[in-house]
């Protein structure tokens, strides 16, 4: 795998972890029930937006992996893998 693949992978993991942190924080705050109804509704709306964001990030990641043709790199063996790697590296 080349550096672009690892950069994309690490970037997606970081974004998803950040979104999960927001979800955990808002879920714990919502359980305290010290907020009025409007604040709780905004927490639920933010949760929906965050989950949608996670789905878009992961979906975009797989689209980038497919676009850069890293899918073939995951299933190749031996000489075939070396040929595919040289083609990707020459682009």
What is the reported pLDDT for 73?
64
What is the reported pLDDT for 16?
94
What is the reported pLDDT for 13?
95
What is the reported pLDDT for 54?
93
Domain that holds residue 30: 3-90
Instruction: Tell me, letter by letter, the H, E, C secondary structure of 2-67.
Output: CHHHHHHHHHHHHHHHHHHHHHHHHHHHHHCCCCCHHHHHHHHHHHHHHHHHHHHHHHHHHHHHHH
Mean pLDDT of the chain, nearest integer? 82
Report yes or no: 64 and 8 within 8 Å, Cβ to Cβ: yes
What is the reported pLDDT for 74?
66
Low-confidence ranges of the chain (pLDDT < 50): none
In the block, which residue shows the tokens 């979906």? 59
What is the reported pLDDT for 67?
85
In the block, which residue shows the tokens 């714990």? 28
Number of independent structural domains in the chain = 1
């Amino acid at each position: 795998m080349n550096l672009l693949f690892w950069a994309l992978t690490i970037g997606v993991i970081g974004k998803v972890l950040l979104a999960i942190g927001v979800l955990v924080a808002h879920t714990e705050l919502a359980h305290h029930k010290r907020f009025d109804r409007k604040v709780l509704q905004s927490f639920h709306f933010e949760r929906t937006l965050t989950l949608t964001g996670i789905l878009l990030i992961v979906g975009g990641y797989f689209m980038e992996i497919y676009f850069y043709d890293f899918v073939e790199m995951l299933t190749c063996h031996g000489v075939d893998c070396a040929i595919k790697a040289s083609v990707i590296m020459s682009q």
